[in-house]
Amino acid sequence: MSVDTPVAPVAALPPTPPDAPAGPPARGPLPQAVFVSLASVAALGAIAVFLVVYALGFSALQEQRSQHQLYASFRGLLAPSSPVAPKVGGVINPGAPIALLNAPAGGLHNVVVVEGTSSGDLLAGPGHLRDSPLPGQPGESLVLGKSVTAGGPFRHITSLRTGDVITVTTGQNTFSFKVIDERTGGDPLPQVPTGGALLTLVTSTGSGLLGHFAPNHVVYVDAALQGKTVAAPAGRPVAVPISELPGRSDPGAWPYLVFWLQALILVGVGSVWAWLRWSRWQTWLVAAPILIAVLWGISQEGMHLLPNLL
């Protein structure tokens, strides 16, 4: 007789859960070409921002520092006890102080004028066009100044009105000029009085509310000497390079700019190498000062490539 073995009940299987919604696919690392492109765009953006900050901010601080130094130097040369007087003739080295300019109605207070009008010369302040006579000497003397960058020392000369006085001190005397006209390119040139002298202040300007920040043409403010002229020593230049004419840039800065750009590439490669081997803070502490110095050099040379009146 067989005895049936009891069979254990089969446990019910848990219900199959519904399929979970598929999530976003896992993102892999960016392709190398895309990473390099994004890094390049970011680097160019950083350079552009630094250039703008330098042009509108740091260059103004540098111009103020240069003006303080030039003022001290020029006042020392004018002192009766000085064994050397400011040069008033012959070939004067570009960048040397040659005059002190005052025109309160035009926002000019003890502004030192340097010799030379290239973009680099005007970073230190207004510059005297080298093939024109010095203020107070017979003929028309031209003084160029920036309107936006490097502090924009000439941005307000368009506020000068007929009859306003401009005072200029050189190594020969202090001269007073009265404003007679404001003109733009294409307007009739002023006539120099026989045996007299004119002073012409030159800068760039625009129109509308943003005229000072978006100059699009050259403006001239002419003033006539009140009183007698002084002798002009011989040996003055009879011509200047194109880069010193109003509204021109200095292409001679290109080789230096290329050098600084190469330095920037080297600093960038070195920073990436350090980032992969050092800690983040070590990399920043070493690379940041070098990077700022290189960007400063790029900005300085880039300023030379801007129009000299900007």
pLDDT in tens, the chain (310 residues): 455 555 555 555 566 556 555 556 655 565 666 756 776 687 778 888 999 999 999 999 999 999 999 999 999 999 999 999 899 999 999 999 999 999 999 999 999 999 999 999 999 999 999 999 999 999 999 999 999 999 999 999 999 999 999 999 999 999 999 999 999 988 999 999 898 999 999 999 987 656 666 788 999 999 999 999 999 999 999 999 999 999 999 999 999 999 999 999 999 889 888 888 888 888 889 999 999 999 999 999 999 999 999 9
Helix axes 280-304, 32-53, angle to 10 degrees: 60
Decide if 26 is inside a domain: no
Cα separation, 290 vs 288, whole angstroms = 5
Decide if 13 is inside a domain: no
Q: Which domain holds residue 137?
A: 55-75+88-244
Decide if 304 is inside a domain: no
Rounded to whole angstroms, what are the CA distances from 258 to 10, 29, 33, 250, 271? 83, 33, 25, 14, 20
Q: What is the pLDDT of residue 152?
A: 96
Decide if 18 is inside a domain: no
Q: Check which CATH number belongs to the domain holding 60 and give it.
A: 2.40.260.10
Q: What is the pTM of this model?
A: 0.85
Q: What is the pLDDT of residue 76?
A: 95
Decide if 199 is inside a domain: yes
Q: How many domains does the chain have?
A: 1
Q: What is the pLDDT of residue 257?
A: 94
